[in-house]
Amino acid sequence: MKSIRMFVFAGVVGIGLMLAGSDLFSAQDRYALKAPNGLSFEDIRGYETWQVIAPSYRTDKKEVRYILGNTTLVDAYKKGASNKGIAFPDGAVLVKIAYSEMKNPVFPAALEPDVLQRIEFMVKDSKKFSATGGWGYARFVYNPASNTYTPYGKDAAFADECYQCHTLVKDRDYVFTKYPVR
């Protein structure tokens, strides 16, 4: 009898751990969230498995980032988009996932991603987002304590801030990241 109880207990703990590692356990349905300009996680559904374009590292913020792209974006890069003034087509999407850094415990010279900080993205729709260079911007700030996201920005004008800085690379269709040889 005792062994049956232990078995059931272990099963319940196991299921609990599985749920803790999944979206199901989150207090929030992140797909229901909207940035002030209407963009949402729906617009990047499945991004977790998109191709990595390149990593980046912000020395001032001490953040490790991955930049990912959907197939429309990757195909366009391969055809030379963002170089020589070639623009990305509508439907191209870039996602940036930012983490705080940590030193690898057994090899401290190696920096690794630690805690998720935010997820942000750019969606090309040249008509809808013509006021910001043809790209729609969105940022969702992650709160690790509650495993929830908060949309960034008070109103739709928040995207002006993104657009202003990305204008530094206007001649690369507002995209900083290059597609490195692999």
In whole angstroms, how close is the CB of 54 to ligand HEC at the nearest point?
8
Residue 122 binds ligand HEC, judged by CB under 6 A: yes
* Minimum distance, C-beta of residue 129 to ligand HEC, in the bound complex (Å): 12
Spatial contact of 151 and 138, defined as CB atoms under 8 Å apart: yes
**Complex with ligand HEC: residue 28 or 56, whichever CB lies closer:** 56
Q: Which one among 37, 70, 132, 177 touches ligand HEC, defined by CB under 6 A?
A: 177
If you search the block for the tokens 């269709």, which residue do you land on?
173
CB 152, CB 121: distance < 8 Å: no
Contact by Cβ (8 Å): 135, 35: no
Instruction: Determine if 179 is a binding residue for ligand HEC (CB under 6 A).
Output: no
Total of chain residues touching ligand HEC, rule CB under 6 A: 20
Instruction: Tell me how far CA of residue 162 lies from CA of 50, 68, 148, in angstroms.
Output: 23, 18, 23
Q: Is 47 an interacting residue with respect to ligand HEC (CB under 6 A)? A: no
C-alpha dist (Å) from residue 166 to 36, 146, 158, 171: 19, 31, 13, 10
- From candidates 104, 146, 165, 167, binder to ligand HEC by CB under 6 A: 165
Q: Does 121 bind ligand HEC (CB under 6 A)?
A: yes
Structure token digits, residue 30: 């992140």
Structure tokens at 81: 């988009």
Q: Compute the distance between CA of residue 37 and CA of residue 14 in angstroms, rounded to an integer.
A: 41
**Rounded CA gap, 23 and 50, in Å?**
18
Which is closer to ligand HEC, CB of 117 or CB of 177?
A: 177
Sketch the per residue contact string, 124 through 153, with ligand HEC: x for CB under 6 A, - otherwise: -------------xxx------------x-
Q: Between residues 24 and 164, which has the closer beta carbon with respect to ligand HEC?
A: 164
Tokens in use for 92?
């191209």
Name the site residues for ligand HEC (rule: CB under 6 A). Answer: 56, 58, 65, 67, 94, 96, 120-122, 137-139, 152, 161-162, 165-166, 175-177
